[in-house]
Amino acid sequence: MNKLRVIVTERIANEGLELLKTELDVDYRDGISRAELLDIIGEYDALIVRSVTKVNEELVSRGTRLKVVGRAGNGIDNIDVDACTRRGIIVANTPDSNTISAAEQTISLLLSSLRHTAEANAFLKAGNWDRKPFRGMELYGKTVGIVGLGRIGSMVATRLKSFGCRIIAYDPYIANERFERFGAEKKETLEELVREADIITVHTPRNEETMGMIGAKEFTLAKDGVRVVNCARGGIINEKALVEALESGKVASAGLDVFEEEPAYNNPLFKFKNVVVTPHLGADTAEAQRRVGINIAEQVIKGLQGELVPNVVNLPTVLREELEVLRPYIDLARAMGSIYYQMEKAPIDRVELSFSGEIANQETGLLTIAFLTGLLSEVMSERVNYVNARIKAEERGIKIYEKKEDRTLKGYANLVTARIFNRGHDMEISGTLTGGGKPFIVELNGFDTDLYPVGTVIVAENEDRPGVIGPFTTTLGEAGINISMMRVASKGKVNLMVVSVDSRVDEETLTRLRSVSGVTNVRVLRFQ
């Protein structure tokens, strides 16, 4: 069988390339021209880039086979995520791989700027000896303001605590618990942080909200002699405002690894002796590059194999450990979604998903997407996957609602319930996990079902009277179909038979089952 193909258009570690080769046909084209890439992209199932290759509408529209785009690095500035999402293309990056390296570079630049290390090094190597021009400042006892308490910001906080610093942080998108975990005092506004900090370091993504967020106004509010560090993205600290603050003495020193325009040549900031600069080295360690290469290779391989992977940009953010907890519930939700169109043909107006118990504290958005993927895969010929399922549902006019309850319902520690509303054919499905962690459908339209969503399952309604179930099961036996499990539930004067069988049920057998006296409806569910 031919292997799936991946093209790598920029340099990644050899360890990553070798891992790709174990599963895929790899075409390594570092530095390929734009024109050539556009001509051949339709031949590949996956694309791996760094920061140069532009993955835009033009490119993905020609990548008719593309299923995964991997960014070997943290940002996604060069990838049109919306264009990929509409086509069901997974976009993954490696935000964890360079976290340690970026945090250490932050500390390195901070210490270098406080102690004039780079300037003193050049002075001494030029044949001079004098300590007086380079009297520095200690980190101990200083108040460090961290803007952005995500992966890297929290690592910086941890390291600076060991220097005896007071840590304050501003991040409106992070829960209070995270501030407490990393020993940071939460500041409700950026202005509050700027007024108190002796040192300001930024660790946010670059977007419309964060571009220039440290500018002339913030420098005016800051303490005289404040120090700043930027190892995140160029432009988060406004360079023009920083130049003016350095000239006035408002800013005592700066450590910069990133710039508004890169490559940076003749940048006005380079003229200042109290500014330490490096050419975007935050992730450039041997260890980080090895991790980046291996991690992006792992993600691309799993994505092409149909597995869910962490760090998918166009899915809810889920950490590796969280994904392991969610994985069986993802399988459950997808199986629940696949039931509706196998039993009903009416169009859907809305779907209400509720999550009760401990599962309500997890990232249930991924379970909603899994449900929609199972639902729509039954009726759509075009590709539906976890990436574009929500978009496809909305295009069909399906409204989606979610509800969480941090309490047990109906005696189940965790319960997922889907209510599907249409035009007179509403359906309710509830599921949980068995003690062994297997998906288990426990209720279908008010009937207790005990349905394992595996293989072929016959669902039949019948009158609640003697002489129906026997002929029904006999008919299956006469057709050579073995019953592996059967459950009968009653509601009013109606029974629901749920019968798991070991082989497919042909149309002739279905016709005979439907003709059994007292049987009112027979449908066959097929699960992956």
- Contact present, 308 and 387 (Cβ < 8 Å): no
Q: Which domain range does residue 227 map to?
A: 99-277
pLDDT of residue 428 exceeding 80, the answer is: yes
- When pLDDT is averaged across residues 494-498 and rounded to a whole number, the result is 94
Residue 260 confidence class, pLDDT cut points 50, 70, 90: very high
Calculate what percentage of the chain has a pLDDT beyond 70.
Answer: 99
Across the chain, mean pLDDT equals 93
Residue 443 lies in a domain: yes
Same domain, 430 and 473: yes
Cα–Cα separations (whole angstroms), residue 206 to 84, 231, 259, 276: 20, 12, 12, 21
Residue 172: which residues within 8 A CB-CB, separation 6 or more? none
Same domain, 163 and 298: no
Could you give the number of structural domains in the chain?
A: 3
- Nearest CA to 262 out of 343, 223, 335, 206 is that of 206
Q: Is the dihedral of CA 473, 479, 484, 485 positive or negative?
A: negative
Cα–Cα separations (whole angstroms), residue 338 to 100, 207, 326, 397: 42, 38, 18, 18
Could you tell me the maximum CA-CA distance found in the chain, to the nearest angstrom? 106
Residue 116 lies in a domain: yes
Active site annotation includes 233: yes
| Identity of the amino acid at 145 | G
Same domain, 21 and 83: yes
Q: Which of 87, 116, 227, 280 is catalytic?
A: 280
Residue 385 lies in a domain: yes
Higher pLDDT, 75 or 293: 293
pLDDT of residue 423 exceeding 80, the answer is: no
Q: Cα Rg for the chain, rounded, in angstroms?
A: 29
Same domain, 334 and 429: yes
Same domain, 44 and 114: no
Active site annotation includes 71: no
To which residue do tokens 């002075």 refer?
123
Residue 319 lies in a domain: no
Residue 282 lies in a domain: no
pLDDT digits (tens, 9 = 90+) for 433-470: 998 899 999 999 999 988 999 999 999 999 999 999 99
Q: Which of 71, 116, 233, 334 is catalytic?
A: 233
pLDDT of residue 320 exceeding 80, the answer is: no
| Identity of the amino acid at 73 | G
Higher pLDDT, 159 or 408: 159
Residue 56 confidence class, pLDDT cut points 50, 70, 90: very high
Would you state the pLDDT for residue 5?
A: 97
Structure tokens given for 37: 């890439």
Same domain, 298 and 380: no
- When pLDDT is averaged across residues 481-496 and rounded to a whole number, the result is 93
Residue 177 lies in a domain: yes
Q: Among 164-168, 192-196, 297-301, 409-413, which stretch is predicted with the lowest mean pLDDT?
A: 409-413
Same domain, 516 and 471: yes
Same domain, 54 and 189: no
Residue 283 lies in a domain: no
Same domain, 23 and 149: no
CATH number at residue 469: 3.30.1330.90
pLDDT digits (tens, 9 = 90+) for 69-120: 999 987 788 999 999 988 989 999 998 888 999 999 999 999 999 999 999 9
Same domain, 90 and 122: no
pLDDT of residue 46 exceeding 80, the answer is: yes
Same domain, 333 and 345: yes
- When pLDDT is averaged across residues 44-59 and rounded to a whole number, the result is 95
CATH number at residue 180: 3.40.50.720
pLDDT of residue 60 exceeding 80, the answer is: yes
Asked which of 221, 249, 277 is the last residue of a domain, the reply is 277
Same domain, 514 and 498: yes
Active site annotation includes 262: yes
Q: Which of 57, 261, 262, 395 is catalytic?
A: 262
